[in-house]
């Protein structure tokens, strides 16, 4: 799906993926700003701010899953190639994460 924006310079099409990435980035910034504010408020109130860490980790996992699904779509559509910058580093990170998650899930 493509969003069409009309302006004084004429018609402009914006790919839905770009809008989704923008919306997700803004959401991430908003949640991070909330966490910073909440951390400060808990410190001022002499409450343990470290109780925020599970929420931040949970949000990071949600975001990682969201990004991973977007990359799966890019791979499926052949938009990622061997020459795509960072693909080797992504592969290494996914391999390490896969092993650590496998170990974690075996423990339970």
pLDDT digits (tens, 9 = 90+) for 46-65: 999 899 999 999 999 999 99
Q: Confirm if 11 and 3 have CB atoms less than 8 A apart.
A: no
Q: What is the pLDDT of residues 84-101, one digit of tens each?
A: 999 999 999 999 999 999
pLDDT (tens digit, 9 = 90+) per residue, 8-45?
Answer: 565 678 888 899 999 999 999 999 999 999 999 999 99
User: Cα–Cα distance between 23 and 26 in angstroms, integer?
Assistant: 5
Q: What is the DSSP string of 69-103?
A: HHHHHHHHTT---TTSTTHHHHHHHHHHHHHHHHH
DSSP helix/strand/coil, 6: strand
Q: Say what the pLDDT of residue 12 is.
A: 76
Q: Say what the pLDDT of residue 4 is.
A: 52
Give pairs for 54-63: CB < 8 Å, separation 24+. Answer: 59/31, 63/24, 63/28
Please give the pLDDT value at position 105.
95
Can you give the pLDDT at residue 86? 97
Residue 45's φ and ψ, nearest 5 degrees, are -80, 5
| Confidence (pLDDT) at 23 | 93
């Amino acid at each position: 799906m493509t969003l069409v924006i009309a302006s004084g310079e004429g018609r402009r099409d914006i790919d839905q993926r770009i809008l989704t990435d923008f919306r997700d980035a803004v959401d991430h910034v908003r949640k991070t700003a909330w966490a910073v504010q909440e951390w400060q408020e808990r410190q001022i109130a002499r409450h343990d701010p470290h109780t925020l860490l599970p929420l931040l980790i949970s949000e990071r996992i949600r975001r990682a899953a969201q990004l991973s699904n977007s990359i799966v779509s890019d791979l499926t559509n052949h938009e990622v190639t061997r020459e795509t910058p960072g693909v080797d580093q992504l592969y290494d990170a996914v391999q390490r994460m896969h092993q650590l998650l496998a170990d974690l899930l075996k423990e339970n």
